[in-house]
Structure 1
């Protein structure tokens, strides 16, 4: 009998009402984020202004541009250069095409928002960049857990003659890339519509070959300092271009910029790189907002994200012949006119010279 009463009490406790515990999370600040660089290379140069979002916000992960700001770059001799906002890409501000930084000068970025708040970077000095002597290609295969097929791509390795008379901090980036795009317009089949329900192939007469231009990232953050190779010739991985079954069917062209950055910029990018490349284990450092060189002139305690970089630049162009690679992905078939692909054009660039 005692056991029966015990079961009744136990069941009653399971079905009893539980008051919800309300947790109020303090709303985080929407932090100004600055992403900008000027070099001694040709313009235009770009500054991007955005706002970060509170963790858990419905806007989290979206780019929230900061529009209608006044953006200028001032050098150590007082020369001011205005950056104009792109009318179609809000929050991105460009210099004129004839503006470029000068070696040995220091530059500061200054921003005034619509609400009157003013921000400035610490000065960044432009140092000359050592010559990027050569680019070497190497095919990399990347095993994917649970997948039979491997990912692959081309790693670019820079050969650099590092000068012995200065401490150098390197940062490598890609410019626009162009490749020969081949499609199959003979396999074109229109999608069903209200006026056309046919699923029969309707081959197009043109076009099979186009030249497609894309702005492709280097596949990571590639930085290095010369502590271990000061004054020596060295080879450093500087980019990875993934093979998507289209890029290396024929010829691929890209320009790699070698930038000489400040020690502060190098430290900032190294911290960003560490957070981007964490493996996801319990031993990884927790994600954090990494403060750069931007300051609020109205409130010194305000956190501003991002970094304004002023750098010396050299670049190297490379043409990659897909047929010379020792491994390529299966060809991706696009059953349409190649001109229908975004960024593709039937005419080659004026300076196309494999």
Structure 2
């Protein structure tokens, strides 16, 4: 019996199993359009990419759509050509002096390098009220398994909503700049074959720089005036996370407020809801959210994204380290602050404004 078992074990590894070849069709690469034009100063950007659907060997890969002809046409027939950036391929920019005009409607038209033509539905630019005031609130967000929570500053805008129209709002963080403090005295030379140990090499300069950044919101901030039409209201419009660097000294940001169309609001609200799905088994599955763009060659083709035309207003906000009621531990950068991307020892010309 024992000999039979040994024989069986010797034979089994020699058995051949032919692999089953699964043929998965490559998914269609979808055109995605992201960006807006508005009544504020430009240039304004429209970004075109291609993303593969489920089943493609390129699934999850996003590639810029380069070499396209991109124009914006208003309701009076005036055409504005957008130029592709040499540094950011797939991003197309309006001329620097272009501004959308309140009351006009605009259509985005795209012809890709392979001759396919896409267009948006017209979007009308609505007037937007000013931001009367901005207040600050420190937020902390508990993190499972960590003693120190995430934290940051929430901006709360005060607006006087017009009573004579239905308003749909969208807020974005504009350019920001802050005083960056580093520790060049702690700089060390990285190990190498010739010198396997880190060697202290303190630098004499520089400790303080001004760093520029775009602080993108991690959530969409949109609202309509159903509950405050014609009233003064205060509403959260932005969250800026404390990374241990931004609020060590002084931080400045331009808060952008847009008046968008009802259709654009519904699109952004759906995107927000889908992005904030908690992930339980009771949540609805993610769905493709159709925007306002179509293919003129194939009306059944799915085009992702939304072309927005909006009225814009902005308000500059300064945040002092003393405005925070909770701060993250100061992050240490052991180098000359000028070595950090976006940093310079020279303050912006409008730093005090």
Report the TM-score, using the length of structure 1 for normalisation: 0.93
Q: In structure 2, the residue corresponding to 1:171 is in which secondary structure?
A: strand
Structure 2 equivalent of residue 96 of structure 1: 95
Q: 1:62 to 1:340 in 2, by over 3 A?
A: farther
Structure 1 equivalent of residue 258 of structure 2: 259
Q: 1:250 to 1:59 in 2, by over 3 A?
A: farther
2-side partners of 1:301 and 1:330: how far apart? 53
Structure 1 equivalent of residue 117 of structure 2: 118
2-side partners of 1:200 and 1:115: how far apart? 55
Q: In structure 2, the residue corresponding to 1:267 is in which secondary structure?
A: helix
Structure 1 equivalent of residue 176 of structure 2: 177
Q: Deviations over 1:280-334 (max 9, x none)?
A: 0112121111110001111111111110000000111100001231110010000
Structure 1 equivalent of residue 156 of structure 2: 157
Q: How many aligned positions are there?
A: 346
Q: In structure 2, the residue corresponding to 1:110 is in which secondary structure?
A: strand
Structure 1 equivalent of residue 6 of structure 2: none
Moved over 2 A (4+): 15-27, 54-63, 193-200
Structure 2 equivalent of residue 209 of structure 1: 208
1:218–1:238: 8 Å Cα contact kept in structure 2?
no
| Deviation of 1:245 (Å) | 0.4
Q: In structure 1, the residue corresponding to 2:326 is in which secondary structure?
A: coil
Structure 2 gaps of 5+ residues are 1-13
| Deviation of 1:18 (Å) | 7.1
1-side partners of 2:17 and 2:223: how far apart? 57
Structure 1 equivalent of residue 270 of structure 2: 271
Structure 1 equivalent of residue 28 of structure 2: 29
| Deviation of 1:346 (Å) | 0.7
Q: 1:203 to 1:56 in 2, by over 3 A?
A: farther
1:50–1:91: 8 Å Cα contact kept in structure 2?
yes
Q: In structure 2, the residue corresponding to 1:71 is in which secondary structure?
A: strand
The range that moved more, 323-332 or 43-52, is 323-332
Question: What CA RMSD, in Å, does the superposition of the two structures yield over aligned residues?
Answer: 2.2
Q: In structure 2, the residue corresponding to 1:323 is in which secondary structure?
A: helix
The range that moved more, 21-30 or 319-328, is 21-30
